[in-house]
Chain A
Amino acid sequence: MKKRTKKVDCVRLWKRIKNDRMLYLLLAPVLAWYLVFCYLPVAGGISLSLRNFRYDMGIWESPFVGLEHFRKMLSDREFMQAAKNTIIISLGRIGFQMPCAILTALFLNEIRSAKLKRTFQTVITFPHFISWVVLAGILSNLFGSSGIINQILDVLGIANVSPITSASSFRPFIWISNIWKEVGWDSIIYLAAITSIDPGLYEAAEVDGAGRLKRIWHITLPGIKSTIAIMLILAVGQIMTNGSFDQIFNLYSAPVYKVGDTLDTYIFRESFITGGLNYGYSTAIGMFKSIIGVIMITVSNKVVTALGENGLY
């Protein structure tokens, strides 16, 4: 009896799949793309991170060395420094850039004239759409030795050091310039969350005599708490990459490698420029980065849900 229903189920399933064959046909190129351009490199990455790369044998057949590369990381000073820099730069993004974006959203929302609000938003979001190649050119020009910022500092009698090439100010420069580029864009998500807050709450608060700042603190901010939680989970999951490659690669130079070299730039330089490292090792670093990312996003999601917020899943 049971067998029979199973058979019927199978037939029904097949019928449904057959019915939707056009949909599967449409989806096929998409899945094929993911297989070739995402999953094949992942498989290659797993394979290569366990091997010593040899040009004549390729990523699938080079000599197998097991976890050798992962062990090597622990004693690689440059790797440790790059990992440390990456985490510091990420923490700066979470600690400074996120609050800036939230504040921008909170106060943009307080502007009463819709036209003015939109104008400000449009202007401060603009740099988001310009590539770091262009922005690095603009910023090097502004902050370079003959740039306007240094000329002003010169007039004021302050010793002029370009923040782009000085180890002590490179990280703050990276944080601030990224805030400058992304704050408008980042704030959009919070602004959208604000629009879904029940306006009745504000009216009630006004009747109770709450001032503007009080209303922001007691209504707007709690109203976007869950959005903040989700953005936080995503940012923590990215702690080892933080999407800073474009920015740092286009701005950094040898004098600031010590403070500005991240895992991504380290992998790039060692793989393609200095070439002193073997491909297996740099791939293992990449794998390590991905694994940490998955762990971090899972853990932070757990923490956030334990605190009573809605998590990612």
Chain B
Amino acid sequence: MRNKKLNKSRTTTFDFIVIAVFTLLALITLYPFWNVLILSVSNTVSVAKHTPYLLPYIVDLTGYKTVLQDIYFIKSLGISLFVTIAGVMINMFLSVTGAYVLSKRQLIGRKVFMTMILFTMLFNGGLVPTYMIIKDLGLINSIWSMILPTAISTYYLIIMKNYFLNLPAGLIEAARLDGAGEWTILWKVAIPISKPFIATFALFYSVERWNEWYNALLYINKKDLAPLQIYLRDILVNLSGQLSAQAQQMLSATEKVSTSAVQMATIIITAVPIICVYPFLQKYFVNGVMVGGLKE
């Protein structure tokens, strides 16, 4: 079928130019990441001889070993994992139930609730008042300060609401006639038939939670509670001040390790989980799942 289409009109200069331009763009997109990767496996000696541009001259994993030995790295990894897992669970619970309820047209007060929710996209209290409220709630230097302030993304909530709006009404009506309550319908009908859709949003949320740094910057000032992104920020700004004594010893024992190799290794480690879930993510956004948000 595809061959037939291709044969219909032959490849023209136009096609060639378009593909050439996109190939160039793709290379520009990927090169910075590649550059980081080859620097992360280099060391001072090899970089002094010739800086690697396209291929690494050696593969020295000391940078990675240094980071992985750092106790603060291990701690921040644990924090990030917790924030991501607990955060996504809360995100999904609130978004799914909220979106499902708000998709019920018969609900009295639905318009008021929607207006109230949409208003927050335009108007917010600002940095200091939010900080004060978080402080009054006793969340400063609490792991929950990285989870609760972002427990709902209004944008995702609206997209999900629009999705539930288009669920086959017959199926839900049938369940209701069987005597199922809303809670049962949500769990036994709405969620099971929306699994791929819900999984997509769990992924989107988990990328956001993994990338979390802003709330941590504001509300966390204990090194023990810093998530990976903050650990990386500190490593990029001040490497030797950040590493634990043990990791520093390792760094000074092997003089060959360049600070940049350690920094680049940390960047790669921080980005790896995203790279791992990306194939699953792209499957959905390419199909335009995210688009529902602009309709209605």
Contacts and interface: CB of A to CB of B under 8 A. Distances in A.
A130 B122 CA distance: 25
B171 interface: no
B97 interface: yes
Q: Of residues A27, A107, A139, A195, which shows the largest number of chain B Cβ atoms within 10 Å of its Cβ?
A: A27
B270 interface: yes
A140 interface: yes
Contact of A26 (B26, B32, B100, B230): B100
The contact size tier of chain B is 35 or more
Nearest to B14: A212
Contact of B125 (A24, A44, A250, A285): A44
Contacts of B116: 31, 34
A33 B126 contact: no
A44 to B, nearest CB: 4
User: Chain B's interface: helix, strand, loop or mixed, by majority?
Assistant: helix
Interface string B115-146: 01100101111111111110001000000000
A41 B232 contact: no
A30 B95 CA distance: 8
Given A130-B271, A133-B233, A283 B39 contact: no
A53 to B, nearest CB: 8
A40 B130 CA distance: 8
A134 B291 contact: no
A184 to B, nearest CB: 8
B130 A41 contact: yes
A167 B130 CA distance: 32
Interface of A: 13, 16-17, 20, 22-24, 26-27, 29-31, 33-34, 36-48, 53, 58-59, 107-108, 110-114, 116, 118-127, 129-131, 133-134, 136-142, 148, 151, 180, 184-185, 188-189, 191-192, 195, 212-213, 227, 230, 237, 245-246, 250, 267-268, 271-272, 279, 282-283, 285-287, 289-290, 293-294, 297
Interface of B: 2, 5-6, 11-12, 14-15, 18-19, 21-23, 25-26, 28-30, 32-33, 35-36, 39, 51, 53, 94, 97-98, 100-102, 104, 106-108, 113, 116-117, 120, 122-133, 137, 148-149, 151-152, 157, 181-183, 186, 207, 211, 213-214, 218, 229-230, 232-233, 236, 260, 263-264, 267, 270-271, 274, 278, 281-282, 285-286, 288, 290-291, 294
